Structure 1
Amino acid sequence: MLAQAIFTDAPGPLVADERRHALAWAEARQLAYDWAGPLPSSNVALGEAIGRTLTSPVTAHQDLPHYASSAMDGWAVNGSGPWIVTESGRTLAVGEASVIATGGLIPSGATAVLRKESGEACGDAHLSVRHDTKPGEAAPGRHIRPAGEEASAGEVLIPAGTVLNPAHIALAAVAGHDHLPVQRKPRVAVVLTGSEVVTSGEPAPGRVRDAFGPQLDAVISQLGGAPEGQLRIGDSYEEWLSALGCAPDGPRPDVTITTGGTGKSGTDHFRDAVAALGGRLLLDGIAMRPGHPAVLAELPDGRFVIGLPGNPLAAMMALMTLGEPLFAALGSRSFQPAVQMVSGADLDPAPGSTRLIPCTLIHGLVFPASHTGPGMMRGLSWADAYMAVPPEGVAAGSPVPVLPLPWTDLQQPR
């Protein structure tokens, strides 16, 4: 495992050695994916399974349909006619018929169904084929849907690994299922930090407006996680320790995301809180700009903690780098590689760091967006994707790795 090659797996609290170099961006993404394994599946009601990944095949409990039925409104008949019409629900002898509706159970003894348009009733008790009807309307098996026509009992209807759509759900219901086993999404809690943060109105000098609270739950969902609520705290060590260590009211989250506090000043408490709780740092810093102070940790209860930097764009790039592959691994989804696209501009080198730049797609070329400083959100809000510019830079006309944003599609740029 990649993580084991980078960090020691000694038991107990572990803080990354300060002498280690920050991990390369591509290696950080791979580590976040490799460290986690799929969460166990859960049985959910049919309506809750749409869009989820099936973990066990759906089979037919019985033949589909499970009885022979009429494909038409008309009469169930025995023989070639004419017939005597009898009451419905009884066994038909040769020369007898009974009224039947579409989907109705074929009575014992019936050999065919005569369509209403093809029959001619004489009074209430006599039935014959209309003289202008095409030959074969009462031939054996005509207009009868046999049992097992769609599937036999035990046949696989939906294989494991299928992302379920509404039609799959309808098929499962027809097959007699009330619940389906699906891959559980990782439960994700958010801890928002910063005594200077305000949540409404225009901030005064020295204060900043919250850029994370309104967006993170939506981004978590788009990345394949299940948001489990947000907790807002200040900047003290005690608040950090309480926020990371407290037992939630509901199910334990699989991942906790924190904002800010990942620097190495005396007011940054992410690492100290993790160590005090007996956790370990799996990744401490990434050789990327913006977002290099990002941290990935694991607590003794098995919960992962993603520490995002405090600047909004830096935090979002860190979440794409660590959160996207981690959620994919926990949700039993494949690792998403970057797509090589042609750069429409010269991109300067940044020795030692991968630069993550929101970008737009124009006629098959990718161009860096403007307003992409670590604390800016304007460029990201209009971007189609983000590019990972290698430390040596990229010349116009050369390929550059590109990844979609959770809310965009690389195949359908604006």
Structure 2
Amino acid sequence: IRDALGPMLPPWLRALGAEVTAVRRLGDSAEALHKAVTKSRADVIVTTGGTASGPVDHVHPILRRIGAELLVDGVQVRPGHPMLLARTKEHQHLVGLPGNPLAAVSGLLTLAEPLLRTLAARPAPEPYTLPLRDEAHGHPHDTRLVPVVLRGDSAVPLHYNGPAMLRGIAAADALAVVPPGGARPGQEAELLDLPWASAGIGVCFT
């Protein structure tokens, strides 16, 4: 099994203003996850994978076991719909990211970044939009986050935008917020900047 997220998450989190104190690689073991979560003294715990409801998806059972308060339990966003946010104890939160790379980036920008910004008392960035140069295909019911590159006064959707794909993230400057049903060429789309792109932090293919 390739660790597609482990090498990238620490620099990405630092680009979002976090101080990364430890990185742990765990197998698909409920007890290992329970020990890691309950022993952690971090203000924010970030996990990858295991947020769905399969036989080796242990995040929800562990959160129930420790009496955590689920604040966000899934979202209507693709990729990344199984992401979650929980309060594990006073002054500690857990951000559960899906295991697929683009889905994890969606969770970083829409759950981890607002949480880290709020804890640090930083103001929210001003939202902005740009017209899409090309059509962006949408999900029938959910919002999609599509990697784009910025070209002048427009955003160009990238084709490599599946939840498990790293190639689109590697080339992207931002994620475009595409409403259900998609967006036509020239339509304005809100953009979520990738802080690591402007900071010169690349994507590591492992």
Same fold judged by TM-score > 0.5? yes
* Aligned position for 2:180: 391
Aligned residue for 2:147, secondary structure, equals strand
Preserved CA contact (<8 Å) 1:289 1:353 = yes
Aligned to 1:210: 3
Give the aligned partner of residue 313 of structure 1: 102
1:373 and 1:349 map into 2 onto residues whose CA distance is 12
Residues of 2 paired with 1:336 and 1:307: CA distance? 23
How far has the Cα of 1:408 moved from its partner? 3.2
Select 2:132's aligned residue among 320, 340, 343. 343
Higher Rg of the two aligned structures: 1
1:325/1:336 contact within 8 Å kept: no
CA distance in 2 between counterparts of 1:356 and 1:393 reads: 11
Q: Please identify runs of 4+ aligned residues in structure 1 that moved more than 2 A.
A: none
Corresponding position of 1:228: 21
1:408 corresponds in structure 2 to: 197
Shift of 1:337: 4.3
Report the more deviating stretch, 285-294 or 336-345: 336-345
Following superposition, the deviation at residue 293 of structure 1 comes to: 0.4
Q: Which has the higher contact order (CA 8 A, sep 6+)?
A: 2
Q: Is the 8 A contact 2:109 2:192 kept in 1?
A: no
Secondary structure of the 1:401 match is strand
Counterpart in 2 of 1:219? 12
CA deviations on 1:330-386 (whole Å, 9 max, x unpaired) are 111112343111111122332221110110111211111122211111111011111
Q: Map Cα deviations across residues 20-45 of structure 1 (whole Å, 9 max, x no partner).
A: xxxxxxxxxxxxxxxxxxxxxxxxxx
Answer yes or no: is the 8 Å Cα contact 1:360–1:368 preserved in 2: yes
How do residues 33-52 of structure 1 correspond to structure 2 at under 5 angstroms? none
Cα deviation code 1:181-240 (max 9, x no counterpart): xxxxxxxxxxxxxxxxxxxxxxxxxxx311222111111110011111111111121111
* In structure 2, distance between residues paired with 1:348 and 1:224: 32
Query: 2:70 corresponds to which residue?
Result: 281
Instruction: Give the C-alpha shift of residue 312 in structure 1.
Output: 1.2
Task: Give the match for residue 134 of structure 1.
Answer: none
Unaligned runs of 5+ residues in structure 2 are 199-206
Q: Is the 8 A contact 1:345 1:396 kept in 2?
A: yes
Q: Which runs of 5+ in 1 are unaligned?
A: 1-207, 410-414
Following the alignment from structure 1 to structure 2, what is the Cα–Cα distance between the partners of residues 357 and 234? 30
Indicate the SS of the match to 2:13: helix
User: Over the residues paired in the alignment, what is the CA RMSD in angstroms?
Assistant: 1.3
CA distance in 2, matches of 1:361, 1:256: 32
Match of 2:31 among 231, 238, 247: 238
The DSSP-based 3-state class of the residue aligned with 1:307 is strand
* Separation of aligned partners in 1, 2:126 and 2:38: 34
Give the match for residue 260 of structure 1. 49
Matched, 1:376 2:169: no
Of 104, 109, 118, 1:329 maps to: 118
Count residues with an aligned counterpart.
198
Aligned AA for 2:15? Q
Distance 1:338 1:389 in 2: 15
Does residue 85 of structure 2 align to residue 296 of structure 1? yes
Q: Percent identity?
A: 39
Q: In structure 2, how many angstroms separate the alpha carbons of the residues matched to 1:367 and 1:376?
A: 17
Separation (CA, whole Å) in 2 of partners of 1:301 and 1:343? 43
Equivalent position amino acid for 2:38 in 1: G
Task: Report what 1:269 is aligned to.
Answer: 58
